[in-house]
Amino acid sequence: MKIQTVVSSLLLCALLSSSAFAIDKAAIVEHVRETYSFPPGLDVSLSDPKPSEIPGFDVMDLKISRGTNQQVEKLYISRSGRYYVLGGFKDLQYSPDKERLSKMQLANAPIRGNKQAPVTVVEYTDFQCPFCQVGYQVMRQQIMKEYPDKVRWVYKSLPLKSIHPWAETAAIGAECAHLQGEDKFWTMHDTLFDHQKEITVRNINDKVVDFAKAAGLAPQKFAACFKGRESLNVVNKDLKEAEDLNIPGTPAFVINGRLIPSADYDSIKQSIEEALKKHAA
């Protein structure tokens, strides 16, 4: 009986050890990156699991670093390897990237670039936002030139009316232009950003009408849409979508589901490269 007890104890220890080693650290790191929208430049690593004070959970050190800056957080992982706690319970069978993609309606949104491209960059933007002007330059002058066939750029309205009083009017004008063709939309989009510093609350209506004429839009059709604010419903749908996605501000880029909450070229580029690698794999 004693020999059987010893053997049973050894088997139990072996099973407990094997369950710890069965934890997929790479999958956990990837899930944490998705959930908390870590920029690609951050280095993230996990220590081996150790027994914790919480029944059924082991604990691991999650190390986040960039250059000489470093932060360590405790990550509690269930012995099954499925659930973890980092400020709250997370389910590894749930993908934040896929959840974002499921909430976005892209069917009728303006698209620039190859519509069959493997990487989709959805930008939530505000025509009056100076940081969005930077985002526009990054996308048009850099990203779309570097990835002409591999990236499609999708526009979404997110006018922050509380701090940008003419942004909604500009968004309505852009959507009215879209009704006359995708090329007309992007001409209006680019013109609004190119002339951002010239636009004020007082002259926004006249400026949009002038831009529409320069873009070759049918004047009467555009005027009816713009003055009647007929495209406001499209703008509001985008606003509701951004709210559902918890978009923190403008500009925000969702790259194949991964949220990049800034116009940082390096972060956008690295996320695109990661998406291309996943697509190739």
Total domain count for the chain?
A: 2
C-beta of residue 251 within 8 angstroms of C-beta of residue 123: yes
Of 71-85, 113-127, 202-216, 237-251, least confident by mean pLDDT is 71-85
Q: What is the mean pLDDT of residues 70-99?
A: 87
Q: What is the mean pLDDT of residues 175-189?
A: 98
- Omega prior to 251 cis, within 30 of 0: yes
Last residue of a domain, one of 43, 72, 94: 94
Residues 239 and 149 in one domain: yes
Residues sharing a CB contact under 8 Å with residue 33, sequence separation 6 or more, in sequence order: 44
Residues 274 and 152 in one domain: yes
Last residue of a domain, one of 94, 113, 136: 94
Instruction: In whole angstroms, give the CA distance from residue 96 to residue 38.
Output: 12
Residues 169 and 237 in one domain: yes
Residues 118 and 191 in one domain: yes
Residues 120 and 40 in one domain: no
pLDDT band at residue 150, thresholds of 50, 70 and 90?
very high
Instruction: In whole angstroms, give the CA distance from residue 156 to residue 123.
Output: 6
Q: What is the pLDDT of residues 21-61, one digit of tens each?
A: 468 999 999 999 999 888 888 899 999 999 988 899 999 99
Category of 37 on φ-ψ map: left (φ > 0), alpha (ψ -120 to 50) or beta: left
pLDDT band at residue 88, thresholds of 50, 70 and 90?
low
Residues 126 and 261 in one domain: yes
Per residue, the 3-state secondary structure of the chain, as one string, reads CHHHHHHHHHHHHHHHHHHHHCCCHHHHHHHHHHHHCCCCCCEEEECCCEECCCCCEEEEEEEEEECCEEEEEEEEEECCCCEEECCCEEECCCCHHHHHHHHCCCCCCCEEECCCCCEEEEEEECCCCHHHHHHHHHHHHHHHHHCCCCEEEEEEECCCCCCCCCHHHHHHHHHHHHCCCHHHHHHHHHHHHHCHHHCCCCCHHHHHHHHHHHCCCCHHHHHHHHHCCCCHHHHHHHHHHHHHCCCCCCCEEEECCEEECCCCHHHHHHHHHHHHHHHHC
pLDDT band at residue 92, thresholds of 50, 70 and 90?
confident
Instruction: In whole angstroms, give the CA distance from residue 109 to residue 269.
Output: 22
Residue 16 confidence (pLDDT): 43
Report which residue type is found at 180. Answer: Q
Instruction: In whole angstroms, give the CA distance from residue 49 to residue 62.
Output: 11
Residues 58 and 153 in one domain: no
Last residue of a domain, one of 94, 117, 143: 94
Supply the range of the domain harboring residue 30.
2-94
Residue 18 confidence (pLDDT): 41
Residues 155 and 218 in one domain: yes
Q: What is the pLDDT of residues 3-24, one digit of tens each?
A: 444 333 433 443 344 444 468 9
Residues 39 and 85 in one domain: yes
Residues 203 and 260 in one domain: yes
Residues 75 and 194 in one domain: no
Instruction: In whole angstroms, give the CA distance from residue 176 to residue 167.
Output: 14
Q: What is the pLDDT of residues 257-269, one digit of tens each?
A: 999 999 999 999 9
Per residue, the 3-state secondary structure of 22-75, as one string, reads CCCHHHHHHHHHHHHCCCCCCEEEECCCEECCCCCEEEEEEEEEECCEEEEEEE
Residue 107 confidence (pLDDT): 93
Report which residue type is found at 223. Answer: A
Residues 173 and 68 in one domain: no
Here the CATH number for the domain that contains residue 248 is: 3.40.30.10
